Structure 1
Amino acid sequence: MHTPKISVIIPVYNAGIYLPERIESILNQTLKDIEIIIVLDCPTDGSDKVAESYSRKDERIKLIYNPANLHIGLSRNQGLKAATGEYISLVDHDDYCTPDMYEKMYSKAQQNQADIVVSNFYGITSTGKTQRFGFPQNYSDEAFQKESFAFLISGPCNHNPACSITSNFSVWTQLFKRQFLEKHHIVFQDNREITFEDRLFLIEAYFFAQKVNVIHEAFTYHRYHQSNSGSNYSYRSIELITNYLMYVHDFLNRQHILKKEYIHFADNILLSLYSGFRNEVKHKSLFKALRTLTPIRKKPAFQQALRYLYKKENLKYLKKYPVTKLSFLLLITLFGKKTD
Structure 2
Amino acid sequence: MNPKISVIVPLFKTERFVEKCVRSVMEQSFTDIEILCIDDCSPDNSALIVRRLATEDRRIKLIHHMENRGLGGARNTGILHAKAPYIASVDSDDYIAPTMLEALYAGTQDGHFDVVVSGYERVDETGKVLSKHMQSVRSLDPIPDDQDPYKIANPAFWNKLWRTSLYIENEIFFPDHIYYQDAATTPRIFAYAKNVNVIGGVYYKYLVRSDSVTNKTSDKHKLDKYRELDFVKDFFIQRGLYGKYHDAFSRRVFETYKNHFATIVDGKRALDEGSLRYLRYLLLMRESYLHLDDAIRGMTIEELTRAFEDGGADIRRLALEKKTVAIDGVPPRIVRPWSRTPDVSVLTLHSGENEFAQSKQSLENQNYKRWTHKVFSGLGNVESHQALYNEIMDNSGRYHIFLKLDADMVFADETVLEEIVKRFNSDPELDHFVVACDDWMTGKQIIGVHAFSNRVSWNISAEGLFVDPSPKRPGKRVIVERTDRAYFYHSPDPSPFQAFHFGAHRALKLCQRNRPYEEKRADAMNAQWDVFFNVWNRFMETGDERLGLALVACHLVVSGDLGEGVHDYKDPQLLDAFKQHEHSTAAEMMSLLEPFWKTRSSRQTYFAQAVGPDGLRKMEEDRVLRKKGKAKRSDGSRKTEGGMAKKARFSESDERIRSRVKFRIYRAALSPFIDTTLKLKLQEKPTVFFLDAKHPALRFGRWLHRNDLPLDLQGR
TM-aligned CA distance change 1:276 to 1:299, over 3 Å: farther
Give the Å deviation of 1:214: 1.4
TM-aligned CA distance change 1:269 to 1:37, over 3 Å: same
Give the Å deviation of 1:144: 9.5
- Return the alpha-carbon distance in structure 2 between the equivalents of residues 285 and 219 of structure 1: 36
Residue 175 of structure 2 aligns to which amino acid in structure 1? Q
Deviates most, 206-215 or 275-284? 275-284
Give the Å deviation of 1:276: 5.9
Q: Secondary structure at the match of 1:76?
A: helix
Bigger relative CO (Cα 8 Å, ≥ 6 apart):
1
- 1:3-152 to 2 correspondences below 5 Å: 3-111=2-110, 113-125=112-124, 128-130=127-129, 131-137=131-137, 140-142=138-140, 145-146=143-144, 150=148, 152=150
Matched, 1:228 2:212: yes
Per the alignment, residue 197 of structure 1 pairs with 181
TM-aligned CA distance change 1:148 to 1:94, over 3 Å: farther
- 1:262-281 to 2 correspondences below 5 Å: 262-274=246-258
Give the Å deviation of 1:79: 1.2
Q: TM-score normalised to the size of structure 2?
A: 0.38
Structure 1: 5+ residue stretches without partners = 155-161, 315-340
- Return the alpha-carbon distance in structure 1 between the equivalents of residues 189 and 172 of structure 2: 7
Contact 1:267 1:309 (8 Å CA) reproduced? no
TM-aligned CA distance change 1:282 to 1:219, over 3 Å: farther
1:76-100 Cα deviation digits (max 9, x unpaired): 1111121111210121001111111
Residue 180 of structure 1 aligns to which amino acid in structure 2? L
Contact 2:9 2:91 (8 Å CA) reproduced? yes
1:304-334 Cα deviation digits (max 9, x unpaired): 69x85675899xxxxxxxxxxxxxxxxxxxx
Contact 2:149 2:187 (8 Å CA) reproduced? no
Residue 167 of structure 2 aligns to which amino acid in structure 1? L
Contact 2:217 2:275 (8 Å CA) reproduced? no
Per the alignment, residue 253 of structure 1 pairs with 237
1:46-68 Cα deviation digits (max 9, x unpaired): 11211110012211110011112
- Return the alpha-carbon distance in structure 2 between the equivalents of residues 151 and 86 of structure 1: 23
Residue 4 of structure 2 aligns to which amino acid in structure 1? K
Contact 1:229 1:235 (8 Å CA) reproduced? no
- Return the alpha-carbon distance in structure 2 between the equivalents of residues 257 and 143 of structure 1: 20
- Return the alpha-carbon distance in structure 1 between the equivalents of residues 149 and 219 of structure 2: 21
Q: Secondary structure at the match of 2:158?
A: helix
TM-aligned CA distance change 1:274 to 1:107, over 3 Å: closer
1:19-50 Cα deviation digits (max 9, x unpaired): 11111111111111111010111222311211
Q: Secondary structure at the match of 1:171?
A: coil
- Return the alpha-carbon distance in structure 2 between the equivalents of residues 58 and 215 of structure 1: 29
1:216-254 Cα deviation digits (max 9, x unpaired): 222111111133333333487322212222222222223
- Return the alpha-carbon distance in structure 1 between the equivalents of residues 53 and 73 of structure 2: 23
Contact 2:18 2:46 (8 Å CA) reproduced? yes
Deviates most, 237-246 or 202-211? 237-246
Per the alignment, residue 226 of structure 2 pairs with 242
- Return the alpha-carbon distance in structure 1 between the equivalents of residues 32 and 261 of structure 2: 47
Residue 142 of structure 1 aligns to which amino acid in structure 2? L
Deviates most, 54-63 or 101-110? 101-110
Per the alignment, residue 327 of structure 1 pairs with none
TM-aligned CA distance change 1:14 to 1:187, over 3 Å: same
Contact 1:252 1:258 (8 Å CA) reproduced? yes
Q: Secondary structure at the match of 2:31?
A: coil
- 1:157-172 to 2 correspondences below 5 Å: 166=153, 168-172=154-158
Residue 274 of structure 2 aligns to which amino acid in structure 1? K
- Return the alpha-carbon distance in structure 1 between the equivalents of residues 53 and 18 of structure 2: 10
1:252-300 Cα deviation digits (max 9, x unpaired): 2233332333222222223334556776986727567757858958734
Contact 1:25 1:98 (8 Å CA) reproduced? yes
Give the Å deviation of 1:177: 1.4
Identity level (%): 24
Per the alignment, residue 317 of structure 1 pairs with none
Structure 2: 5+ residue stretches without partners = 266-270, 297-315, 332-716
Matched, 1:299 2:293: yes
Contact 2:142 2:195 (8 Å CA) reproduced? no
Residue 68 of structure 2 aligns to which amino acid in structure 1? N
Larger radius of gyration: 2
Q: Secondary structure at the match of 2:243?
A: coil
Residue 272 of structure 1 aligns to which amino acid in structure 2? T
- Return the alpha-carbon distance in structure 1 between the equivalents of residues 146 and 202 of structure 2: 19
- Return the alpha-carbon distance in structure 1 between the equivalents of residues 258 and 119 of structure 2: 28
